[in-house]
Amino acid sequence: MKAAVLRTIPGDLEITQVEVGEPGPREVLVKTAAAGLCHSDLHFMEGSYPYPTPTVLGHESAGVVEAVGSSVTEFAPGDHVISCLSVFCGHCSYCTEGRPSLCANKGVETVRGMDETPRLTVDGEIAHQFLNLSSFAEKMLVHENALVKIRKDMPLDKAALIGCGVMTGVGAVFRTAKVQPGETVAVIGCGGVGLAAIQGARIAGAGRIIAVDMVESKLEIARQVGATDTVNGSEGDAVAAVVEMTGGGVHHAFEAIGLKVTAEQAFGMLRTGGTATVIGMIPIGVKVEVDGFQFLMEKKIQGSNMGSNQFRTDMPRLVDMYLDGRLMLDEMVSAHIQLEDINEGFDQMKTGSIARNVIMFD
Ligand SMILES: [Zn+2]
Ligand SMILES: [Zn+2]
């Protein structure tokens, strides 16, 4: 099958032939229908997070089940599915206390062992599976707990977005921060994840929803999907603007870029008792500094991984919300591209001007 392989870090992706195995007992072979280009892929291509090479990147996808392993009962060929990197074991302490996105066995029992044939090979050697998925490929061979079945009337390109960016942004609002109706929200960064957080805030019934970005076209989309106010961070002090607009700061600030400066800004935008939720991937080793005195005002700063999701529950609900018109996903797809155009797609992402490119497989 055709796949996009990352051989060196930093580096571009090479479209080449990759061999995919047959499903083991608890594995599912999925024909990839659509795969979104996510900023996290870029973090690994640029080397701000380590990963073994060669690897097939991609982790935001939807497709159709082609074959299932002997122990799989949940899925059958023909099922439409969304993949999620939050693959869970179902029995560790995190899974059993209702936090499967933090599963302790993610890279242990949901992957193949070193003594087994790898799921993916390139030129006869192992091609490391990226985040248990590797979606930039015509097929994905994954553990059954990396998938959720969805309605067949859901367009698969929009479903793919739910697989990472949308789940991450909406989940940060619903599950990590638990925004209450009427509370004020600021979202820093209006890429795919930030736009999803804005929508989560709208659906949760937040009061004022303030979008912050440096790119006017992204702020325009933010308004379309639910922001009540916008702040262009290139035109002055965004923190001061948000504090002034809200008469003292917001209940919840979300950081959806992954930078020290914007994480600190999120904390700075809080009212007394407010909570900053950092969604973005801050490079390893970078420290975030806040004024310790502010903790006496019960301000909090917390992380969010993949929106603290319970994706088997959450994703079908998000599909329903799209199909009944509450979750706007059409606005978030910038362009449909071919696998061969993937490097150009990431180049566009680096300019910061687009929301989401989605690869379509025939
Ligand atoms: Zn992602
Ligand atoms: Zn677990």
SS (H, E, C) the chain: CEEEEECCCCCCEEEEECEECCCCCCEEEEEEEEEECCHHHHHHHHCCCCCCCCEECCCCEEEEEEEECCCCCCCCCCCEEEECCCCCCCCCHHHHCCCHHHCCCCCCCCCCCCCCCCCEEECCEECEEHHHCCCCECEEEEEHHHEEECCCCCCHHHHHHHHHHHHHHHHHHHHHCCCCCCCCEEEECCCHHHHHHHHHHHHCCCCCEEEEECCHHHHHHHHHHCCCEEEEHHHCCHHHHHHHHCCCCEEEEEECCCCHHHHHHHHHCEEEEEEEEECCCCCCCCCCCCCHHHHHHCCEEEECCHHHCCHHHHHHHHHHHHHCCCCCCHHHCCEEECHHHHHHHHHHHHCCCCCCEEEECC
Same domain membership, residue 117 and residue 204: no
Position 248 in a domain: yes
Question: How large a percentage of the chain has pLDDT more than 90?
Answer: 91
Q: Is 308 exposed, middle or buried (0-12, 13-18, 19+ CB in 10 A)?
A: buried
Which residues are part of the catalytic machinery? 38, 40, 43, 59, 164
Last residue of a domain, one of 303, 333, 351: 303
**Cβ(337)–Cβ(357) below 8 Å:** yes
Contacts of residue 220, defined as CB under 8 A and 6 or more positions apart, other chains included, come to none
Dist. CA 261 → ligand 2 center (Å) = 33
On the question of pLDDT at 149 being above 90, the answer is yes
Number of domains the chain contains: 2
Position 334 in a domain: yes
| Average pLDDT for 49-76 | 96
| Average pLDDT for 31-47 | 93
| Average pLDDT for 62-71 | 98
Dist. CA 318 → ligand 1 center (Å) = 17
Same domain membership, residue 329 and residue 229: no
Mean pLDDT across the chain, nearest whole number?
A: 96
Q: What is the pLDDT of residues 93-129, one digit of tens each?
A: 999 999 999 999 988 899 999 899 999 999 999 999 9
| Average pLDDT for 180-188 | 98
Same domain membership, residue 76 and residue 27: yes
The sheet that has 270-278: what strands, in order across it?
A: 229-232, 209-213, 185-188, 250-255, 270-278, 300-303
pLDDT of residue 43: 87
Dist. CA 219 → ligand 1 center (Å) = 21
CATH of residue 314's domain is: 3.90.180.10
Whole domain around residue 190: which residue ranges? 178-303
**Cβ(271)–Cβ(247) below 8 Å:** no
Last residue of a domain, one of 303, 319, 345: 303
Same domain membership, residue 141 and residue 11: yes
Q: Among 144, 129, 149, which Cα is nearest to 59's?
A: 129
Neighbours of 181 (CB within 10 A): 8
Please give all residues whose CB falls under 5 A of ion ligand 2, grouped by chain where several chains appear.
88-89, 92, 95, 103, 105
pLDDT of residue 353: 67
Dist. CA 313 → ligand 2 center (Å) = 16
Dist. CA 111 → ligand 2 center (Å) = 13
Same domain membership, residue 151 and residue 41: yes
CA of 100, nearest ligand number = 2
Dist. CA 8 → ligand 2 center (Å) = 31
Last residue of a domain, one of 260, 280, 303: 303
pLDDT of residue 274: 98
Dist. CA 105 → ligand 2 center (Å) = 5
Position 171 in a domain: no
Dist. CA 42 → ligand 1 center (Å) = 9
Same domain membership, residue 199 and residue 145: no
pLDDT of residue 343: 95
Question: How large a percentage of the chain has pLDDT more than 70?
Answer: 99
Is it true that the peptide bond before 25 is cis, omega within 30 degrees of 0?
no
pLDDT-derived band at 350 (thresholds 50, 70, 90) equals confident
Position 168 in a domain: no
Same domain membership, residue 183 and residue 68: no
CATH of residue 238's domain is: 3.40.50.720
Q: Is the full-model pTM beyond 0.75?
A: yes
| Average pLDDT for 280-303 | 96
Position 219 in a domain: yes
CA of 86, nearest ligand number = 2
Same domain membership, residue 131 and residue 255: no
Position 71 in a domain: yes
Same domain membership, residue 246 and residue 222: yes
CA of 59, nearest ligand number = 1
Contacts of residue 40, defined as CB under 8 A and 6 or more positions apart, other chains included, come to 59, 164, 281
CA of 133, nearest ligand number = 1
pLDDT of residue 31: 98
Position 296 in a domain: yes
DSSP-assigned beta bridge partners for residue 230 = 211
Same domain membership, residue 187 and residue 159: no
Position 256 in a domain: yes
pLDDT of residue 111: 94
Same domain membership, residue 206 and residue 158: no
* Residue 138: C-alpha distances to residues 15, 254, 304, 343 (Å): 11, 34, 30, 17
Contacts of residue 237, defined as CB under 8 A and 6 or more positions apart, other chains included, come to none
pLDDT of residue 334: 83
Same domain membership, residue 248 and residue 213: yes
CA of 35, nearest ligand number = 1
pLDDT-derived band at 354 (thresholds 50, 70, 90) equals low
